[in-house]
Structure 1
Amino acid sequence: MRLYKSLALALILIAPIAGVPAIAQTVTAEAAMAATDRPPQHTERDAARKPEMAFLLPYIKAGDTVLDMGAGGGYTSMLMSTAVGDTGKVYVQNPASWVENYKMQPALDYLTSKRANVTVVVAPFEDIPAPAKPYDVIFAGMIYHDTFNDPKADVAKMNAALFKAIKPGGYFIITDHKAPDGSGLRDTNTTHRIDQQTVIDGVTKAGFKLVLDSDALSHPEDDRSLNVFDAKIRGKTDRMALVFQKP
């Protein structure tokens, strides 16, 4: 039985975005969110996450091989699983410490029990194994700042490994909470934000080209000073939405 028999997929032709080639036959956020096997802890987050998913999913098409970095319990992974379809593959990565400390295993077990096109990877960010087929898309959703918070981590090594593991023309997409301009890595483990230029500099140094700096997740009313988990600002932080491409 096909994985999405109960889901009427809304397929659309995406208009060209400045700096990015047109991407055809992708699944809308609404269609992906309509899958009936999604658990309540996912669906209750849809309203808050929809802008991010509407930004991401046009880059993912049927048959793609995708990596969801720092995927947590797989909220984005399940939506991407719908987008890549039966002929695609989603790798769902978390460091071992995250799986243990945040008790993620039941959620990951549920995900793999429902979606045959999902593979769970437990590995440090800089040691994510390359798939047999190079990635079409790599997504780091609100977690790129976290890659700097493990004192043993080597983010330059991570970026180089990701560049090697993605196909030419493939996309590395990053969303994250913006820190004040010029603050570098100062806030990654306090307010859980990161300076956008620091992200751009590190990723382009690995060989990627920045092709889109979008304001899709912008909240200019956020002065970027509060912890992203503060009730005053949670879900309404000023966020970067960056698309990099391997030449």
Structure 2
Amino acid sequence: MRRLLLASCIALASLSGCASMGGASSSDIAAVLASPSRSADDRQRDARDKPAEVLALAKFKRGDTVADILAGGGYYSEILSGIVGPDGKVLLVNNPGYDAFGKKGYTERLANNRLPNVTHVVGPSDALGIGEGVLDGAVIVMSYHDLYWVDDKMGWPKVDAGRFLDQVVRALKPGGVLLVVDHSAKQGTGSAAAQDLHRIDEQFAIADFRRHGLQWEAAIPVLRNADDDRSKNVFDPAIRGKTDRFVHLYRKP
């Protein structure tokens, strides 16, 4: 076990040195993904989520403070932990619904202080407890659409999406970035597909974040799938893990 932890620390330290030169590249992030301390489930997920390419868009670097918002079990939190290094900080942020869903995952992930630069934060949707002006960056991965989903039986009441997003924007420092990944809905559907399909219209998302004071900066096609007709629920076995997903980067002026 000590050897595994030592190898992991060496990999993280190596990445931190590279990232300090202007942001982690996909090859830098691949060094974190190669850590022997990562779980088999996380490695399996890498193939479908392509975190090296996705996170490289944000150019997070050593020493940054980054929030993984609605993080669930913290898959991205652990990767971000390696990118920001021992001098950085990662907030694994959940509301009560996501916290219940991800409890087993984050409990194992954070056990025995194995990620000392990751802090678990839980709060109601409109007051997560992130703070103000503290973040160099944040990520919301496959959970933005849930701001427009309601299911009381599943313990997910209606969220005030505007208040939720405003607190995220306030938490960012000027110049801070927000990386958003989500399942694409058909153009023109706005937020309606979030309820039945767990998808959201890409153009609606751009307008939504702009309304809350962020500038759209970039997108990459790494998770696009032209064969997804976007009519199926994302949990449908025919498309699960292969949905058409957009990857956007926003910046706070």
| TM-score by shorter chain over 0.5 | yes
- Corresponding residue for residue 82 of structure 1: 82
Distance (whole Å) between structure 2 residues aligned to residue 157 and residue 213 of structure 1: 25
Comparing 37-46 with 165-174, greater Cα deviation is found at: 37-46
Tell whether 2:161 aligns with 1:163. Answer: no
**Which structure 2 residue ranges, 5 or more long, are not aligned?**
151-156
Comparing 35-44 with 174-183, greater Cα deviation is found at: 35-44
Q: Cα offset for 1:156? A: 0.8
- Corresponding residue for residue 29 of structure 1: 29
Distance (whole Å) between structure 2 residues aligned to residue 173 and residue 165 of structure 1: 14
Using the size of structure 1 for normalisation, the TM-score is: 0.87
CA contact (8 A) 1:220 1:238 kept: yes
Q: Cα offset for 1:189? A: 2.2
CA contact (8 A) 1:111 1:118 kept: no
Distance (whole Å) between structure 2 residues aligned to residue 132 and residue 201 of structure 1: 23
CA contact (8 A) 2:133 2:170 kept: no
Distance (whole Å) between structure 2 residues aligned to residue 123 and residue 48 of structure 1: 30
Q: Cα offset for 1:230? A: 1.6
| Aligned positions of 1:132-147 closer than 5 A | 134-147=134-147
Distance (whole Å) between structure 2 residues aligned to residue 128 and residue 227 of structure 1: 28
SS of residue matched to 2:175: strand
| Aligned positions of 1:191-210 closer than 5 A | 191-210=197-216
- Corresponding residue for residue 158 of structure 2: 152
- Corresponding residue for residue 97 of structure 2: 97
- Corresponding residue for residue 153 of structure 2: none
Deviation per residue, 1:149-205 (Å, 9 max, x gap): 244311111111111110111101111011000001211021110011111111111
Higher relative helix content: 2
Q: Cα offset for 1:97? A: 2.3
Q: Cα offset for 1:12? A: 5.2
Tell whether 2:241 aligns with 1:242. Answer: no
Tell whether 2:217 aligns with 1:217. Answer: no
- Corresponding residue for residue 73 of structure 1: 73
Between the two proteins, the alignment pairs up a number of residues equal to: 236
**Residue among 9, 15, 39 paired with 1:5:** 9
Tell whether 2:40 aligns with 1:40. Answer: yes
Q: Cα offset for 1:109? A: 2.4
Using the size of structure 2 for normalisation, the TM-score is: 0.85
Distance (whole Å) between structure 2 residues aligned to residue 2 and residue 85 of structure 1: 14
Comparing 230-239 with 190-199, greater Cα deviation is found at: 230-239
**Which structure 1 residue ranges, 5 or more long, are not aligned?**
15-22
| RMSD (Å) for aligned C-alpha atoms | 2.4
- Corresponding residue for residue 186 of structure 1: 192
Q: Cα offset for 1:43? A: 1.8
Q: Percent same amino acid among aligned pairs?
A: 32
